[in-house]
Amino acid sequence: MSCEAMADVIMKFGGSAVTDKGNFETFREAGAAAAAQLVKKMVEAGLKVVLVHGAGSFGHPQAKKFGVKKGWVDAGDADQVKRGFSLTRTSCLKLHTKILQQLMDAGVPAVGVSPCSGWVTHGGNVVEAGVRQVTNLLQDGFVPLLHGDCVRDQLTGCTILSGDTVIKVLCKELGVKRVVFLTDVLGIYDQPPHLPGAKFMSQIIVSKDGKMKQRIETELQSCDVTGGVNLKLDTARDIVTESGGAIPVFVCLVGSHTAEVICLQGRQPEGPSDGGTVIMLDQEK
């Protein structure tokens, strides 16, 4: 692949960073605006960026209610699942448009790319990926914005393709230097951060056989249909192992100084910082 088509950074706007997950279709404008300003700085620094956003309180409730992830082939009422497919997509696109507007208001040349039109799965595994559209936009100087989406599945009729899975596929196709997840907390904790005694983790080391050396407990929010923090960790583990450690994954607080240093320089700040977790491959022989 041409160097011109490569991305320096893939950034995920987490659903918790740009929406209020506890309130149906509630947009966090401040979080999206902060993320957009950071993207502007990255573009001005000459970095090629691909963006992906989660759905948060958009899309997930509809997908769960109508069982979209399981598809319509074996569903008792295929028409209801198809209705859920349409409602879920419509909700995701509402959020997509809001985030695009924030990016354009910040002066970022963002272009929306919906996976529904070019990605296909087979039993939940991606068999067709619309990567060419992304690389073409990068070559032309745009910032592609993708999102988790409803897609066709060759076995079940349809499913939900998570934004995290989109990122993992893109990492295989593009010359990515780092992946950054923006969220509403400082980074990764050893247990859900709202629990007493939860400890922040600045580093998570993954062995070459794909095992995380630290024990981490996660929980799934009731509306989430794509795996929540657990999927994020699985995605990060796969990215660092499959790239042989060439692509580190960072998780940091949207709007923080740490996020800016990570995105622009590819490292955690020296000295005191406002969080930031790096997930990286064990370098021991």
69-72-78 Cα angle (round to 5): 130
- pLDDT tens digits for 22-74? 999 999 999 999 999 999 999 999 999 999 999 999 999 999 999 999 999 99
How far apart are alpha carbons 90 and 216 in whole angstroms?
35
What is the pTM (predicted TM-score) of this model? 0.94
Q: What is the CATH number of the domain that holds 53?
A: 3.40.1160.10
Q: How far apart are CA 11 and CA 167, in angstroms?
A: 9
Please tell me the distance from the alpha carbon of residue 181 to that of residue 158, in angstroms, as a whole number.
27
| pLDDT at residue 205 is higher than 50 | yes
Structure tokens at 250: 């960072």
What was the pLDDT predicted at 232?
A: 87
Interatomic CA distance for residues 66 and 212, integer angstroms: 35
Q: How many domains does the chain have?
A: 1
Structure tokens at 63: 């997908």
The encoded tokens of residue 189 equal: 């904790």
DSSP assignments along 106-161, one per residue:
TT--EEE--GGGT-EEETTEEEE--HHHHHHHHHTT-EEEEE-EEEEETTTEEEEE
| SS3 at position 197 | coil
Which residue range forms the structural domain that includes residue 158? 3-281
Does residue 225 register a pLDDT over 70? no
Mean pLDDT of 214-230: 68
In 3D, which of 154, 160, 158, 151 has the Cα closest to residue 72? Answer: 158
- Alpha-carbon distance of 129 to 48, in angstroms, equals 20
